[in-house]
Amino acid sequence: MNKNDILAILNGVKQGEISPNEALEKINIKSYEELGFANVDTSRSLRHGVGEVIYGESKSAEQIRAIAQALLDSGEPTVLITRISAEKAEYVGKTIKLEYEDEARVAIAGTVPKPNGNGKIVVCCAGTSDLYCAKEAVLTARAFGNEVVEMYDVGVAGIHRLLDKAEVLSKAKAVIAIAGMEGALASVIGGLASCPVIAVPTSVGYGASFGGVSALLAMLNSCASNVSVVNIDNGFGAAYIASMINHQEL
C-alpha cells in the first residue's frame, strides 16, 4: 500500500463512503515482515515513495523469490530486482510473473507504472560497452514511473553525435551520464544541460583506468557545477536519484 492508496481511503472516510472501522481494516500496514533470513521493509514506499528494491547478486534464487512475494503480498504493485542472473530470474519466474532484461541483469515483478513524473529523464552513455549500466538505469527509472529518453554511443570521441542531441538535453528534468575510460562525457553534458546531471563511471577501459577509478575521479573533479556522481557501475543509484528529482512537487 502506498501513499495514494491511503489518501484514497482517508478521502473515503471524509466523504462518508467508508466507516472509520473499515478504513482501519484497510490500512493494516506492517512496518516489516520477518522471513528468518530477511526483514522485508513493507512500508518503505510510505517513506520514500517507492518500495524496497531487491539486490539479487549475493542472494539465492529462493531468497529473492520469497522477498519479492512478500513485497507483492504487502501491496507493492512493482518490485524491482537488480543484479539478478538469468538462471535466478528463470527460477523466480516460475511462480512470479517477471519482466527480465539479460544485459542489464534487472527483473521487474508486478506492473510497470505509467510515467507520473514532471518531465523526462535522459539516459546517455558514451559507448556501446557501457550499455549494461545504461539499461540498468533505464529499467530502474521506468519501474519508478518515469518517462525515459535513451541516448547511446554519444561519447566525446565523436562529440558531434552528442551535440546533435543538445535540444533533447535542454528539456530534461535530469540527465544520467554514463562513461568509462576518462569519463569526460559527464562534464560535457553538464555544460549543455540546465538540469542536474548524475554521472556514473563504468568499469570500462584499458589497464590504467583501474576498473573505473579513473572515470570516477574525473567525474568527481568535473568543472560543471551541476554534476554529481554515484559509484562505479551504479546505474540503479543514478536512476533512483533522477526519479526523486523528476517527482519533486512543483
CB-based contact 140:240 (threshold 8 Å): yes
133 and 188 fall within a common domain: yes
106 and 58 fall within a common domain: yes
pLDDT of residue 16: 83
Residue 121 β-bridge partners = 148, 174
Distance CA 139, CA 236 (A): 9
- For 25, 144, 192, 238, the CA distances from 247, given in Å and listed in that order, are 30, 10, 22, 14
Which grid cell sits at 230?
A: 554515484
Distance CA 193, CA 33 (A): 43
131 and 201 fall within a common domain: yes
Q: How many beta carbons lie within 10 A of that of residue 84, not counting itself?
A: 26
The boundaries of the domain holding residue 160 are 120-246
232 and 187 fall within a common domain: yes
Is residue 239 domain-resident?
yes
Last residue of a domain, one of 90, 110, 130: 110
77 and 186 fall within a common domain: no
CB-based contact 176:124 (threshold 8 Å): yes
Residue 151 β-bridge partners = 124
91 and 167 fall within a common domain: no
13 and 53 fall within a common domain: no
User: Which residues lie closer than 8 Å to 74 by C-beta, 6 or more apart?
Assistant: 1, 30, 33, 40, 42
Q: HEC string of the chain?
A: CCHHHHHHHHHHHHCCCCCHHHHHHHCCCCCCEECCCCEECCCHHHHHCCCCCEECCCCCHHHHHHHHHHHHHCCCCEEEEECCCHHHHHHHCCCCCEEEECCCCEEEEECCCCCCCCCEEEEEECCHHHHHHHHHHHHHHHHCCCEEEEECCCCHHHCHHHHCCHHHHHCCCEEEEEECCCCCHHHHHHHHCCCCEEEEECCCCCHHHHHHHHHHHHHHCCCCCCEEECCCCCHHHHHHHHHHHHCCCC
74 and 104 fall within a common domain: yes
pTM: 0.86
129 and 199 fall within a common domain: yes
11 and 37 fall within a common domain: no
pLDDT of residue 30: 62
pLDDT of residue 3: 63
What is the C-alpha R_g of the chain? Answer: 20
Q: How many domains does the chain have?
A: 3
pLDDT digits (tens, 9 = 90+) for 8-37: 777 777 878 788 777 666 666 667 778 888
Q: What phi and psi values does residue 21 have, to the nearest 5 degrees?
A: -65, -40
135 and 228 fall within a common domain: yes
pLDDT digits (tens, 9 = 90+) for 74-105: 888 999 999 999 999 999 999 999 999 999 99
Is residue 115 domain-resident?
no
Q: Residue 219: how many CA atoms within 13 Å on its side-chain side?
A: 28
Residue spans of the chain under pLDDT 70: 1-5, 23-30, 250
List the CATH number of the domain containing 127.
3.40.50.1970
pLDDT of residue 218: 95
50 and 92 fall within a common domain: yes
pLDDT of residue 1: 55
